[in-house]
Amino acid sequence: MITPRGSTSLVRPTSGQLFYFRPTKLTLCDGTHVTIRSITPEDESRMIDFHQALSQQSVHFRYFAMLSLGFRTRHERLAALCATDRAREIALVADQKRSDGEHEILGVARLIKTPGLDEAEFALLVTDRRQGDGLGTALLKLLVAIGRKAQVRIVGHVLPDNAAMLHVCRNLGFTLHFHPAEGEWAVELDLRPEHLTRGSQAPV
């Protein structure tokens, strides 16, 4: 279980912004305190450390391929991923301040709007030593809350052997459709007002 601390993290987006998030604090099941906040350009070096700690399985589940550490940590790539355009995407990081005063990223959750559609694709990645303790569920719940505010349909793609992610999606109300040709599950949660009727509200 994860315990949120403080009030709701969502605020009204400013002009030109589709997504907005106010930092919030969570307490993990072992008592570890983390701050969930938007990614910043200053996170580039922390993202290198984050990627260095990932197992091959975690990389495969996230990217559907074995992308090399060198490719994933290229400056050009990370600089672009750490500088999001709030008119089309948001990326949240789970930030832990360690006892030595340094900050460590434990997880990343991203929501990217599809151009021309009321749709946004999510992506989620949690460092291996924090998988299974509810952090991924908490991050996806926050993306759902952001998506509801933006009134979009959230979509994603999950490999069949990623049982943990499929379980989380089912628990949060996503519908799942298997596509044999692609060998993957398509998951979606429609948060557009016309699809949210009384008694069928998606969970926060």
| pLDDT tier for residue 178 given thresholds of 50, 70 and 90 | very high
Contacts for 168 with CB less than 8 Å, ≥ 6 apart: 136, 137, 140
CATH number for the domain running over 3-195: 3.40.630.30
Q: Which two tokens stand for residue 60?
A: 């495969």
Mark 9-37 as b/e (b = at least 16 C-beta within 10 Å). bbeebeeeebbbbeebebebeeebebebb
HSE-up of 158 (CA within 13 Å, CB side)?
25
Q: Which amino acid is at 130?
A: R
Length of the chain equals: 204
CB 36 within 8 A of CB 95: yes
Looking at residue 21, its pLDDT comes to 85
Looking at residue 197, its pLDDT comes to 60
| Percent residues over pLDDT 90 in the chain | 75
Q: What does the alpha-carbon distance between residue 89 and residue 110 come to, in Å, rounded to a whole number? A: 7
Provide mean pLDDT across the span 135-163: 95
Q: Across 20-34, 76-90, 170-184, which has the greatest mean pLDDT? A: 170-184
Domain ranges of the chain: 3-195
C-alpha closest to that of 22 among 83, 78, 86, 82: 86
Looking at residue 2, its pLDDT comes to 45
CB 123 within 8 A of CB 116: no
